[in-house]
Structure 1
Amino acid sequence: MAPFRQLEDQGEFILYDPQAIPQIDKRWFQLEYWQNQQALLGGAPGRGTSVFIQTPAGEAVWRHYHRGGLPGRFIKDLYLWTGLRTTRAWQEMHLTQKLLALGLPVPRPLAARVQRLGGVYKADLITLRIPKALPLSDYLPQVDAAEQKQALQAAAITIHRFHQAGLNHTDLNPRNLLIQADNKKVWLIDFDRCQLNQPEPKTAQRNLERLYRGLIKVDAHQAGVWYDWLQRAYAQQ
């Protein structure tokens, strides 16, 4: 896997995969650029602003970093600048590449952009879109119990692989687990603020408990059954 390349222009930094994108410039991070090329494919729900775009590398997801919770009400998309390597986009781009190199089911990172604005910055990330995939939060309510169980068992196997690699996914929820209905393959996305360390059972359990709270938000009546299926499959790995 080739190393990323970096561009810099007046406080704006772009990190990109030269194998997937031979050429890139800051227009890639401007909505009008994709609109003018009729390459804007739609949007995705979530905390940040995500849009689907048709790039030379294939369909991709462009996500602008937004704060969640109470801080997001006041400083929507600004983060404290402590150096380029510590920015959210730089960290997530490199972590996703490491996970990809380990053979884990993650979207290929294509490019990241950081705009420094004095003591703060804004950031964006572009990754390849997983074809024909739905968030688990959308998939589960659409299918019968047998398919729900199959999906959750597949999710458990995927999550266990990441935990064995030492990933602490700080926002493990049903929106960040994508399932391809045709082959039941489950992917994990959104590695903002996640860490790769030595495997730690307590950390893994906290991740799973967070996922359970997310399942409750999808369907409070079914969440207990769903989580039981997932836990049983996870324990068998």
Structure 2
Amino acid sequence: MDIITIRNTTYLLNPNYAAHFQAEHFEPAWWQAQNAVVGQSHGRGITWFVQLGQQQGVLRHYYRGGWLGKLLHDRYWFTGWQRSRAADEFRLLQTMQAQGLPVPTPWAARIQRYGWFYRADLLLQRIPDAHDVVSLLRTRPLSRDEWHTLGQTLQHLHRANIDHADLNSHNLLLDKAGKAWVIDFDKGKQRPAGGAWQVANMQRLQRSFRKELHLNPTLHWQESDWQLLLEGYGSTCSKA
């Protein structure tokens, strides 16, 4: 990881991306001016999909949730860039990639200090030809093999002691080759072995599928699909 500090801003760079680095890469308006925005998604804020050479990237700004989000929006208490949300996620992604886990490649992170607070952004490589599970379930049911693949992938994460802080159906992807990926590791951690957090992860994911079905009764998901995922996971997780 390369580190560049310019006044009150620190950039973390993947060495494979460093030759392409420009500070403007963290500004959506710059990508728009280059006609390089290829899509966007909406959550707490806008996530931008951008074209960089032959690859696509994902530009994400960090926003707070809950009641603090209403008060502070995108500001976090500054205790050093090393302990920022962006730096934590950047390092965790690098650790997982070194272990061969199917997660996005981090390109760069930006941490901007404003007095007692900071704001942060993360730039990732977009996973080619991949769609989140919910978008797939809106159009078709998943096969038994696809559910098993998703379960096996989650088991691999848990065997590596990776705790995904927001494991939900939108953070699971399948690419056109049928490979499963996991995204969005903000507040994720690599924990010591053991503990109840694996079960909590899986129960959170099950609630997410149930919520999506409640929001869209035509979704191609049913409780038996969850059992297929658990077969792939090989888990004794209790039912939620």
Q: Shared fold (TM-score greater than 0.5)?
A: yes
Q: Distance in 2 between matches of 1:208 and 1:47?
A: 23
Please tell me whether the aligned partners of residues 112 and 120 of structure 2 are also in contact (alpha carbons under 8 angstroms). Answer: yes
The answer as to 2:69 corresponding to 1:72 is yes
Please tell me whether the aligned partners of residues 21 and 57 of structure 1 are also in contact (alpha carbons under 8 angstroms). Answer: no
Q: Distance in 2 between matches of 1:201 and 1:235?
A: 17
Specify which of 176, 179, 183 is matched with residue 174 of structure 2.
Answer: 179
The answer as to 2:229 corresponding to 1:235 is no
Q: Which residue of 2 aligns with 1:213?
A: 207
Residue range with higher mean Cα deviation, 27-36 or 109-118: 27-36
Q: Distance in 2 between matches of 1:98 and 1:36?
A: 34
The answer as to 2:74 corresponding to 1:83 is no
Residue 219 of structure 1 deviates from its aligned partner by 1.1
The C-alpha deviation readout for 1:13-33, integer Å capped at 9, x for no partner, is 111112223142321111221
Structure 1 unaligned spans of 5+: none
Q: Which residue of 1 aligns with 2:5?
A: 8
Percent pairwise identity: 32
Q: Which residue of 2 aligns with 1:49?
A: 46
Shift in alpha-carbon separation, 1:69–1:150, aligned structure 2, 3 A: farther
Residue 148 of structure 1 deviates from its aligned partner by 4.2
The C-alpha deviation readout for 1:129-162, integer Å capped at 9, x for no partner, is 0011111111123113xx3433221110100000
Q: Which residue of 2 aligns with 1:192?
A: 186
Q: Which residue of 2 aligns with 1:103?
A: 100
Q: Which residue of 1 aligns with 2:147?
A: 152
The TM-score with structure 2 as length reference comes to 0.90
Structure 2 unaligned spans of 5+: none
Q: Distance in 1 between matches of 2:233 and 2:10?
A: 40
Q: Distance in 1 between matches of 2:103 and 2:148?
A: 18
Q: Distance in 1 between matches of 2:45 and 2:225?
A: 27
Residue 72 of structure 1 deviates from its aligned partner by 1.6
Residue range with higher mean Cα deviation, 55-64 or 221-230: 221-230
Q: Distance in 1 between matches of 2:137 and 2:144?
A: 9
Shift in alpha-carbon separation, 1:26–1:68, aligned structure 2, 3 A: same
Residue 184 of structure 1 deviates from its aligned partner by 1.4
Corresponding letter in the other structure for 2:148: Q
Q: Distance in 2 between matches of 1:205 and 1:21?
A: 39
Shift in alpha-carbon separation, 1:31–1:159, aligned structure 2, 3 A: same
Corresponding letter in the other structure for 1:197: R
Q: Distance in 2 between matches of 1:223 and 1:206?
A: 20
Q: Distance in 2 between matches of 1:50 and 1:35?
A: 13
Q: Distance in 2 between matches of 1:118 and 1:53?
A: 31
SS at match of 2:32: helix
Q: How many equivalent pairs are there?
A: 231
